[in-house]
Structure formats: C-alpha cells, structure tokens
C-alpha cells in the first residue's frame, strides 16, 4: 500500500492494472478514517482486484462559515487503516493538484440537491459533484463505494453517474454505528463529553421512527412529529431538519407509499450531525 499525491501517477498505476485485466474499486473519503470507511474498503476489496482510497478534504464543498480548517486530518493514521483493510493506494492530493490555477469548471445538479442538506449548505453538493466527477475521471473505477449515512449524497452521485452516462457501479453500504448507536462520523471528534452523551438523541430518534414504520404508521407528519419531540427534549440539541423524502427524487412525501428515506440533521452544540433510515430496510 502506498500514498500517491499526483494525478498522473494514479493514472499510470490504473493503466498498468487495466493492462493486467484487473478490476478497480474506488472509495472516496475526506480522510480521518474510521470503521465506517473501513467497511467501504472491505466491500471494495471483496468485490475488486484493486482498491483506490481517495483521502482529500475537498474545500469546494465547505461553505464560508463551515469547518474546513478544523476538519480532522491524519494521513499516517489513515494509511494504517487502509492497509489493514486491503486498500492498494491512497490518493491524497493537495488542493492545488485537484484545483489548479485558473480552475473554473464545475458539475452541478438541481432537484435532488435542493432539499435536506442542500437547504442549509447551498454550495455543498456543487463541490461534491465536481470532486466526485474528477475522481471518477482520474481513477476510472468499475465500482465506487459510499456510505448510506450520507443518504442524499448517495442519491446525488447515483443520479450524477446515470445522467452523465458514467460506466461505474455506485454501491451504497450500511451505516456503521458506535456500540451505543451513534453513527460513525469524523465530526464526532468535535463533541465534548456532555455533547457526546447528548448526541445519542439522533440514533434514538431514528430507532423511534423505525419502530413506528415497523408497526405500520404511514403518515409522515406523525412520524416526523414524534422524532422531533424526542430530539427537542435534549437541551444541547437543535434540529436542522427531520424529513421523509422519496428515495429517488429527495422530495418530501406525506405518505409512506413508496421507497423513502427518513433523514435528520441535528446540531449538538455547534457540531452538525446527520443520520437516517431507509424504509425499505425496516
């Protein structure tokens, strides 16, 4: 396993693998890897002959007041995890390598990006679509792996690949959680002791909503109200959104009459965390 910072070097290696008839998986990440990322690498290692893990904190998907500078980074720590789970290369470019002087081309999307996280993070998905398109062009993988925790991102990337006729299989992998239920996230490191305890309201709300669906509740507003009430009972929690949306369009629905995602975003102190469940998985 080696760390590569140069686009041309990644392309040379991919070309060699292709000449040998090998299949390639890509796991795009922003680094500071945890067990959730490890599960994506495991899936790629299982499905493909070679796995590339990108490790790049993409400045384009952060808004002016967001946590770009404080976002955790530790490439040495990441390299140990990637190697342990069967990754072959870490592609860890500097921002100047991905966005060279004069960069002025972007990949954007409407409809799917206008709900959920797109409302409070208006530049986010333009940055996601652009960097993922670049990674797909650089690595040209057979398969690319994304976590279901970022459900809207997964839907956006699937739509992107379909719209632009990218010959890449997009694979969503289950959420990995801490023992107490909190979804694994690099941003969990921001939480104080009291905030970490308070953060359990997210997974508790997800469990509550899941139980209601399992019992046959179809009215989305009833489910949402119960989940919001639980979250808002925690003094350190502030709700950004609790919504139920169509899996394909990310548009809100009022009745569970099709495959849907119940997605939440909650501030615990100043840290914004997300979680969700897919109704088809209930």
Calculate helix-pair angle for 200-214, 220-232, nearest 10 degrees: 150
**Each residue of 110-169: pLDDT tens digit?**
999 999 999 999 999 999 999 999 999 999 999 999 999 999 999 999 999 999 999 999
Which is it for strands 271-278 and 260-268: parallel, antiparallel or unpaired? antiparallel
| Contact (CB, 8 A) for 33 and 96 | no
**Each residue of 104-124: pLDDT tens digit?**
999 999 999 999 999 999 999
Average pLDDT over residues 214-225: 98
- Which of these CATH numbers, 3.40.50.970, 3.40.50.720, 3.30.43.10, 3.30.1300.10, describes 186-275? 3.30.1300.10
| Contact (CB, 8 A) for 262 and 241 | no
Q: DSSP for 204-256, please give it.
A: HHHHHHHHHHHTT--BHHHHHHHHHHHHHTSTTEEEEEEEEEETTT--B-SB-
What is d(CA 162, CA 97) in angstroms, rounded to the nearest whole number? 27
Closest CA to 262 of 242, 281, 282, 239: 242
- Which of these CATH numbers, 3.40.50.2300, 3.30.2000.10, 3.40.50.620, 3.40.50.150, describes 2-173? 3.40.50.620
Q: Which residues are CB-neighbours of 175 under 8 A, at least 6 positions away?
A: 36, 147, 148, 149, 183, 184, 275, 276
Closest CA to 160 of 203, 138, 128: 128
Average pLDDT over residues 258-275: 98
For the cut 90, the answer to whether the pLDDT of residue 248 exceeds it is yes
Give domain limits for the chain.
Answer: 2-173, 186-275
**Each residue of 50-82: pLDDT tens digit?**
999 999 999 999 999 899 999 999 999 999 999
- pTM assigned to the model: 0.96
First to last CA, the chain: 38
What is d(CA 90, CA 34) in angstroms, rounded to the nearest whole number? 15
What is d(CA 275, CA 79) in angstroms, rounded to the nearest whole number? 27
| Contact (CB, 8 A) for 152 and 280 | no
Average pLDDT over residues 90-102: 97
Catalytic residue annotation: 37
């Amino acid at each position: 396993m080696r760390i590569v910072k140069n686009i041309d070097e990644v392309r040379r290696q991919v070309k060699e693998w292709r000449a040998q008839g090998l299949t390639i998986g890509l796991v795009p990440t922003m680094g500071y890897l945890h067990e959730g990322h490890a599960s994506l690498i495991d899936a790629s290692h299982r499905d493909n002959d070679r796995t590339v893990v990108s490790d790049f904190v993409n400045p384009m998907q952060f808004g002016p007041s967001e946590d770009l500078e404080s976002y955790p980074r530790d490439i040495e720590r990441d390299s140990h995890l990637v190697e342990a789970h069967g990754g072959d290369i870490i592609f860890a470019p500097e921002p100047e390598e991905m966005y060279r002087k004069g960069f002025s081309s972007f990949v954007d999307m409407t409809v799917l990006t206008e709900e959920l996280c797109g409302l409070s993070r208006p530049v986010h998905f333009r940055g996601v679509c652009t960097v993922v398109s670049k990674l797909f062009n650089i690595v040209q993988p057979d398969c690319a792996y994304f976590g279901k925790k970022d459900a809207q991102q997964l839907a956006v990337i699937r739509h992107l690949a379909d719209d632009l006729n990218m010959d890449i299989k997009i694979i969503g992998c289950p959420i990995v959680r801490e023992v107490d239920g909190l979804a694994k996230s690099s941003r969990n490191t921001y939480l104080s002791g009291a905030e970490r305890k308070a953060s359990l309201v997210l997974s508790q709300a997800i469990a509550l909503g899941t139980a209601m669906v399992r019992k046959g509740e179809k009215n989305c507003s009833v489910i949402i109200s119960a989940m919001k009430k639980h979250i808002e009972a925690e003094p350190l929690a502030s709700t950004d959104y609790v919504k139920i949306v169509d899996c394909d369009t990310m548009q809100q629905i009022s009745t569970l009459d099709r495959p849907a995602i119940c997605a939440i975003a909650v501030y615990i102190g100043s840290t914004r965390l997300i979680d969700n469940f897919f109704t088809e998985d209930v």
